A and B are shown apart, each in its own frame.
Chain A
Amino acid sequence: MKTIIEITYLVSSVFFIFGIKKLSSPKTARQGNMFAAIGMALAIIVTLIDQDVLTYEWILIGAIIGSTIGVIMAVKIPMTGMPQMVGLLNGFGGGASLLVALSEFYKIMNFPAWNHDVKTDISIIISILIGAVTFTGSMIAFGKLQGLVTGRVVKYPGQHPLNAILLLFVIVGGAYSVIYPGNELLILVIAAVSLLLGVLLVLPIGGADMPVAISLLNSYSGLAASATGFVLENNELIIAGALVGASGIILTLIMCRGMNRSLLNVLVGGWASAGSGGPAPEGSTPKGDVKSVDAEELAMIFDSVSTVVIIPGYGMAVAQAQHAVRDLVNILEKKGIKVRFAIHPVAGRMPGHMNVLLAEANVSYDKLFAMEDINDDFSNTDIAFIVGANDVVNPAARHDQSSPIFGMPILNADYAKTVVINKRSLNVGYAGIENELFYYPNTLMYFGDAKDAISKLTNELKNL
C-alpha cells in the first residue's frame, strides 16, 4: 500500500512538471493547467487511502466548504480583480501550511509515541514562520489591491529594527522550543509573532510595487508547502512547493529588473520620493508648453498614419478601458493601420496584468510585445499611444542621473514620430516625479478618463 501511495505521489509530481512545461505557450497552457489539476486530484485521492487517515467526516466537511468558496471566488471575480484574487489565494495556501504545522505540533504533544525528532521540530517552526508570514502578508497585499488598506508606502520610525527583533524572536524562540519541546504557549506566541511579521513586512510596500510583493508571496506560499513537506517527510509536497517557490522567485527578479531596483530596495519601502505623494519638487526638468488635442483632431491624425503602438499601464486597468481599447484597435485595423501593444514588465499590479486584461477584451496575444521585442521598433512607429502609463515611458530614466528612476529600463515611446498620451491630468506617476515626455515637441496630450476618451476617439474615427 505504502508503495502504491508513493508511486502515485511521484506520478502526480510528474503531472505538475508537465503542467508547468505546457504553460510555456498560450496554445498548450490550458491543457497544462488541466495536467496540474489532474496531478492534484491524484495526490488528494491517494492520500485518502493512507493508513493514518481513519475518519473522513472532517475531511469531507472541510473539502465541501473549501471547494464551494473556491468555486464561488473563481467564478465571481472580475478580470480586473485578478491581482487581489491571486493575493488572496496565496494567503490561503500559506494559512494551510501554518495550520498543518500547528496540527503536527499538537499531534506530537498529544501522542508521545508519534515518531518525530529534532528535524521534524525544526521543520515545524520553519513551516509556522513561512506559512504565517505568507498568510497575513497576502491578506495585507489583498487589502492594498482592493483599496481596503492604504496603497501608500507606509513608513514609521524603527520599523526595520522592529522587524529584525521579531524575526530574531522567532528564531531564538524556535531554537528553544526545539531543545525543550512540548511548550504549547511558546509555539502559539511564535505563530502570533510570525503573523504580525507578515503584516509589518508587506504594509510598507507601495501599491505600484505590488507586482514584486505578489510574486514574492507566491514564492513564499511554495516554500511554505515545501516546509510542510519536510515536516511530513513527503517528497511530493517538497517538489511541488519547490516548483512554486522557484516560479515566484523568477517572477520577483523579473519585476525587480523591470524597475532596476534591488529586492531589498522594494521591500524596505519604495523610491526615495515615493512616500511623499505630493507634487514633485521642481528640479532640472525643462518645463515647456503642453500641447493637448481633442478627439476630433486626434482621429484625423490617427487616420493618416500606418503604424501605431499602444502602451497600456495601470491607468487602463483602473478605468477598465480594455474593451474600449479593443474597439479602437478594430477600427484602426479596418483602416489598414498596423497596431501592436508594447508591454512593460511592471505595467499594472502583478506580472502579466495587462496581458490578461487585453486577453479578456479579445485582443489576440500575438499583438502583445514584451519591452525587449519592440523597443527598437519605436523609431519606425508613427504613433506611440500611451494609455494610463507614466513612469515606464519617462525618458529621464535614460539620461537624468539625478532622477530616482535613473537606470530603469523604459519603453522608447519618445522615439516614435508622434507620442499621444491619454491621461486624466498632468499629475506625477507612482515614482512621484515629473515626466518630461509630456513637454516634448512631438508629444500630444489627450486628457480624459481612458474609457470615455478612447470611446470618443473611436467614434470620431468611425465618422471620418
Chain B
Amino acid sequence: MDGVSFLMLVYVFVLAIFVGFELITKVPPTLHTPLMSGSNAISGITIVGAILSAGLEEFTISTILGMVAVIFAMINVVGGFLVTDRMLKMFKKR
C-alpha cells in the first residue's frame, strides 16, 4: 500500500462519514430501533474479509479464524436483516 492509495482510503472513509451523518439525521425517532438493527446488519460487511480469510488455498490457522469470522458475520448479517424486517413489518399507519 503506497502513500497515495492509503490516502485514498482515508478520503473514502471521511466522505462516507459525512454521507452517513446526512442520511441518518433524517431518520425519525420512531425508526431509531430498526435503524440500529439495520445498520448493525450492514456492519456485518466484515463478511467480505471473513470469506477472504476462510477461502485461502492452504489450510492454516488463518482459515480457522476466517471460518469462525464467517459464522459471526453471518449471524450479524442474517439475524440483523431478518429482525429489522420483522420490526418494520409492524410499523403501520391505521
Contacts and interface: CB of A to CB of B under 8 A. Distances in A.
B83 A103 contact: no
Contacts of A29: 31, 34, 88, 91
Interface string B30-51: 1111111111111111111111
A20 B41 contact: no
Nearest to A32: B38
B69 to A, nearest CB: 4
B73 A33 contact: no
B29 A234 contact: no
Question: Interface size bucket, B side?
Answer: 35 or more
B1 A73 contact: no
B19 A362 contact: no
Max chain A C-beta neighbours (<10 A), residue from B26, B27, B40, B82: B40
B93 A221 contact: no
A241 B80 contact: no
Contacts of A238: 9, 12-13, 16
Contacts of B41: 36-37, 40, 89
Contact of B12 (A50, A116, A235, A364): A235
B52 A50 contact: yes
Interface in A200-243: 214-215, 218, 221-222, 224-226, 228-243
A389 B74 CA distance: 37
B54 A62 contact: yes
Interface in B41-94: 41-57, 59-94
Secondary structure of the B contact surface, majority rule: helix
A120 to B, nearest CB: 6
Nearest to B38: A33
B39 A244 contact: yes
B67 A82 contact: no
A254 B21 CA distance: 13
Contacts of A73: 75, 79, 83
B16 to A, nearest CB: 4
A371 B89 CA distance: 25
B16 A97 contact: no
A242 B57 contact: no
A343 interface: yes
B25 A250 contact: yes
B2 to A, nearest CB: 8
A359 interface: yes
Contacts of A241: 43, 45
A59 B55 contact: yes
Interface string A17-29: 1011101111101
Interface in A89-114: 89-90, 92-93, 95-97, 99-100, 102-104, 106-107, 110
B40 to A, nearest CB: 5
A232 B9 contact: no
Given A26-B31, A65-B71, A71-B78, A222 B39 contact: yes
Contacts of B19: 17, 242-243, 246
Interface string A53-90: 11110110111011101110111010100100110011
Contacts of A117: 1
15 contacts: A20-B38, A21-B23, A29-B34, A36-B38, A52-B56, A59-B67, A96-B46, A96-B47, A99-B65, A235-B9, A236-B45, A237-B46, A243-B39, A246-B17, A359-B91
Closest 3 CB pairs of A and B: A66-B74, A246-B20, A62-B70
